[in-house]
Chains A and B, each alone.
Chain A
Amino acid sequence: MNFTDIHTLMPEIVMAVLALAVLLSELVIRRKETVGLLAIVSVAVTAYFIPTSFGTVFNGMFISDGYSVFFKFIFFTCLILTVLISSRYLEIERSSHGEYYALLMFATLGMMLMASAGDLIVLYLGLELMALSLYVLTGFIRHEYRSNEASLKYFLLGAFSSAILLYGIMMIYAQTGTTDINTISSVLTEKKATVSLLLSVIFLLVAFSFKIALAPFHMWTPDVYEGAPTSITAFMSVGPKAAGFAVLGRVFLVGLYPLQINWIPLLIGLSILTMAVGNILAIQQRSVKRMLAYSSIAHAGYAVIGIIAGGNEGVSAMMNYLLIYMFMNIGAFSILILMRSEDFLGESLDDFKGLAKTHPLTAGLMLLFMFSLTGIPPTAGFIGKFYLFKAAVGAGYTWLAIVTVIFSAISAYFYLRVVIYMYMHEPEGEAVSLSGSPSLGLALLISALLVLFIGIYPSPFISFARIVTG
């Protein structure tokens, strides 16, 4: 790499430097909201360097292309929304420390590296940077046992899956002599599928399934999502999941593309099982936070269809789905944060009883997000699913699209149950007191507007995703 190529790496460098600055700023700045504001400004500064960053450096080790830029756009929005919903919430949880924002930024840096990784070594390191930051953030409410426990479970399962990923990388390296994703692809086109090649594909698939919580490797998700601070749950279910999809797409649709015939059946099986487990187990949950955790498992199952369908159409549908999922999911978690106050958890389904009478606006927003998660028009969730089905049908997987529709119909039961509790039940006991703040309101406004906007006028986003993958 020459120094003139530095513009390609500029967003990552700026992000790293600003994350360090945010980390240090905590020493001087008393008000933690200001640190959060600094984090948002940092994201804006980093985003400024994105348009000039296209290129490939370090012999293909780091790729900045349309694909990675789209994902970085998701990560940045996710980070901004998370910061907005965090500040008040952390005060309520009595865990307001400035390191929180720096760790969020480091996690985002890791995700950016994952999306841009052209080499399995960079991919592994980006993944570890993201994962280590997330383990700490999950246990951030350190005086609460639930948060510690979630953090430990996440850590053990995360480290275990990383070791499996490394074994997969080792086997791929053994058979292709390289860790560069593009070279792997060209070596594999000349090779026959052997047992050891299939084993390496399985190892990689298992490791990625852990990371994006595909069944049967989802067991950690509900406990971790329930125990983590709600703002981090919102972040984890969107950003790192999208990053996992980014590497899944890059590794399987580029590196292992020659073995497509072998891994597609595996991925279809995982996808159907994930949708089944996520949607059916969500029905039993009484805690809305846990229900959203299962819903996040189910949505990963939907998004995988984009990778199964493959091609420009499938990948752009998957990317759009992740973008849309971000707005509706962070929106739903924002409502949970709004319900949380000093001595009130606000996570149970019963806490939502009669919310429409006491707080009509909040109930209305929750209604919107629940409709969107179910996939009811004219919300964005419908658009996301529609393009996934279209891609699946276009690639000849009509039956898979039908299976997905059936599971979406099942999902209506538990999403709309929240709506029924809000609108058709009488409030019980004292009215829930909301702990709103301007920043939380802003996050809700952004999510709700985009859920509606994409639902009604999706073409700019759809064509954006098509252009960057094309």
Chain B
Amino acid sequence: MLEFFFGYLSLVIIIFSLLVVLSKNAIHSVLYMLVMFFHVAGIYLLLQAEFLAAVQIIVYAGAILVLFLFAIMLLNLREELSAEQLTDGWPASLAVVAGLLLTLMLSLGGFTTTFNGSWSPEKIKEITFTKALGQALYTGYILPFEVASIILLVAIVGAIVLAKRRLN
């Protein structure tokens, strides 16, 4: 049963990732991306990470993609549609990427892990994933957490600095 779900989710993810990359129109790409993000959230659910699934949908689908759509609409990139879609060197890129993918798949094939931490699926089920992640973030990982907050602040300041209209 789980295998079936995994098969469905990964098939959709791969097809829609390809569509994102191959579509001519950026708006279509964003919408394909939306479908793809929902299915990635499904993968997270399979892996018992329900909080990340929610974040995936709220932040990626809800915030980032809306921002993309907003920017595309604002810019009205009509001429992009008629422009050449792929770079001249695309066959070379394809060859490089295919080689890389093959190497990665071969080296990752049959990969199993021998490491066993303290967070077994039963334990996570007992205290819920959200609580486990929250506790880790606010104790051992408080430093990166605070850094992330500064990063978001810089993003706000930076976006305003760059995009606001020129005064005077």
Q: Do chains A and B touch in the complex (CB under 8 A)?
A: yes
A172 at the interface (CB under 8 A from B): no
**Which chain B positions have C-beta within 8 A of A113?**
147
Interface positions, chain A 109-166, Cβ under 8 Å from B, are 109, 113, 119, 121-122, 125-126, 128-129, 132-133, 135-136, 139-140, 142-143, 151
B151 at the interface (CB under 8 A from A): yes
> Is B111 touching A196 in the complex (CB atoms < 8 A)?
yes
Minimum C-beta distance from A220 to chain B (A): 16
> Is B157 touching A61 in the complex (CB atoms < 8 A)?
no
Which interface class (under 10, 10 to 19, 20 to 34, 35 or more) fits A? Answer: 35 or more
**Which chain B positions have C-beta within 8 A of A58?**
140, 142-143
> Is B147 touching A122 in the complex (CB atoms < 8 A)?
yes
Q: Which of B14-22, B84-92, B158-166 binds A?
A: B158-166
> Is B151 touching A139 in the complex (CB atoms < 8 A)?
no
Which interface class (under 10, 10 to 19, 20 to 34, 35 or more) fits B? Answer: 20 to 34
- Our pick among B143, B157, B166 for the contact of A62 (Cβ within 8 Å) is B143
- Our pick among B106, B107, B113, B161 for the contact of A177 (Cβ within 8 Å) is B113
A218 at the interface (CB under 8 A from B): no
In the docked arrangement, what's the CA distance between A223 and B144, Å? 32
B148 at the interface (CB under 8 A from A): yes
Minimum C-beta distance from B80 to chain A (A): 15
Beyond A139-B162, A196-B108, whether A121 also contacts B141 by CB under 8 A is yes
Chain B residue with the shortest CB-CB distance to A196: B107
Minimum C-beta distance from B112 to chain A (A): 10
**Which chain A positions have C-beta within 8 A of B144?**
61, 119, 121-122, 125
**Which chain B positions have C-beta within 8 A of A143?**
166
Minimum C-beta distance from B155 to chain A (A): 6
> Is A125 touching B103 in the complex (CB atoms < 8 A)?
no
Beyond A97-B161, A139-B162, A196-B111, whether A132 also contacts B147 by CB under 8 A is no
> Is A129 touching B158 in the complex (CB atoms < 8 A)?
no
A99 at the interface (CB under 8 A from B): yes
Beyond A143-B166, A196-B107, whether A103 also contacts B157 by CB under 8 A is yes
- Our pick among A9, A61, A122, A133 for the contact of B154 (Cβ within 8 Å) is A133
B81 at the interface (CB under 8 A from A): no
Minimum C-beta distance from A213 to chain B (A): 21
In the docked arrangement, what's the CA distance between A61 and B144, Å? 9
In the docked arrangement, what's the CA distance between A103 and B159, Å? 12
Interface positions, chain A 384-409, Cβ under 8 Å from B, are none
> Is A136 touching B161 in the complex (CB atoms < 8 A)?
yes
**Which chain A positions have C-beta within 8 A of B140?**
58-59, 61
- Our pick among B103, B141, B147 for the contact of A129 (Cβ within 8 Å) is B147
In the docked arrangement, what's the CA distance between A177 and B155, Å? 32
A199 at the interface (CB under 8 A from B): yes
> Is B143 touching A61 in the complex (CB atoms < 8 A)?
yes
> Is B103 touching A132 in the complex (CB atoms < 8 A)?
no
Beyond A122-B144, A199-B107, whether A136 also contacts B150 by CB under 8 A is no
In the docked arrangement, what's the CA distance between A102 and B114, Å? 46
In the docked arrangement, what's the CA distance between A9 and B146, Å? 12
Beyond A103-B154, A177-B113, A199-B103, whether A140 also contacts B161 by CB under 8 A is yes
Interface positions, chain B 73-127, Cβ under 8 Å from A, are 103-104, 106-108, 111, 113-115, 117
- Our pick among B108, B150, B158 for the contact of A16 (Cβ within 8 Å) is B150
Minimum C-beta distance from A203 to chain B (A): 10
A195 at the interface (CB under 8 A from B): yes
In the docked arrangement, what's the CA distance between A149 and B104, Å? 34
A174 at the interface (CB under 8 A from B): yes
Chain B residue with the shortest CB-CB distance to A139: B162
- Our pick among A97, A125, A194 for the contact of B151 (Cβ within 8 Å) is A125
In the docked arrangement, what's the CA distance between A142 and B103, Å? 43
Minimum C-beta distance from A191 to chain B (A): 11
Beyond A103-B157, A129-B154, A174-B113, whether A136 also contacts B162 by CB under 8 A is yes
**Which chain B positions have C-beta within 8 A of A23?**
157
> Is A109 touching B158 in the complex (CB atoms < 8 A)?
no
The winner among B103, B151, B155 for most chain A CB atoms within 10 A is: B151
**Which chain B positions have C-beta within 8 A of A59?**
140
Chain B residue with the shortest CB-CB distance to A102: B157
**Which chain A positions have C-beta within 8 A of B117?**
177
In the docked arrangement, what's the CA distance between A58 and B108, Å? 32
Minimum C-beta distance from A196 to chain B (A): 4
Beyond A9-B143, A102-B157, whether A125 also contacts B148 by CB under 8 A is yes
> Is B111 touching A132 in the complex (CB atoms < 8 A)?
no
> Is A132 touching B161 in the complex (CB atoms < 8 A)?
no
In the docked arrangement, what's the CA distance between A142 and B142, Å? 35
> Is A106 touching B150 in the complex (CB atoms < 8 A)?
yes
In the docked arrangement, what's the CA distance between A311 and B113, Å? 33
Minimum C-beta distance from B133 to chain A (A): 14
> Is A129 touching B150 in the complex (CB atoms < 8 A)?
yes
Chain A residue with the shortest CB-CB distance to B108: A196
Minimum C-beta distance from A338 to chain B (A): 26
In the docked arrangement, what's the CA distance between A122 and B117, Å? 21
Minimum C-beta distance from A62 to chain B (A): 6
Chain B residue with the shortest CB-CB distance to A178: B115
- Our pick among A99, A125, A126, A199 for the contact of B161 (Cβ within 8 Å) is A99
- Our pick among B111, B143, B166 for the contact of A142 (Cβ within 8 Å) is B166
> Is B154 touching A106 in the complex (CB atoms < 8 A)?
yes
A-B contact list, 5 entries, CB within 8 Å: A99-B161, A103-B154, A122-B144, A143-B166, A195-B106
Which positions in A face B, CB cutoff 8 Å? 9, 16, 23, 57-59, 61-62, 97, 99, 102-103, 106, 109, 113, 119, 121-122, 125-126, 128-129, 132-133, 135-136, 139-140, 142-143, 151, 174, 177, 194-196, 199
Known pairs A58-B142, A109-B150; list 10 more (Cβ under 8 Å). Answer: A9-B143, A122-B143, A122-B147, A125-B147, A129-B154, A133-B154, A142-B162, A195-B103, A199-B103, A199-B104
Q: Across chains A and B, which 3 residue pairs bring their CB atoms closest together, nearest first?
A: A177-B115, A136-B158, A196-B107
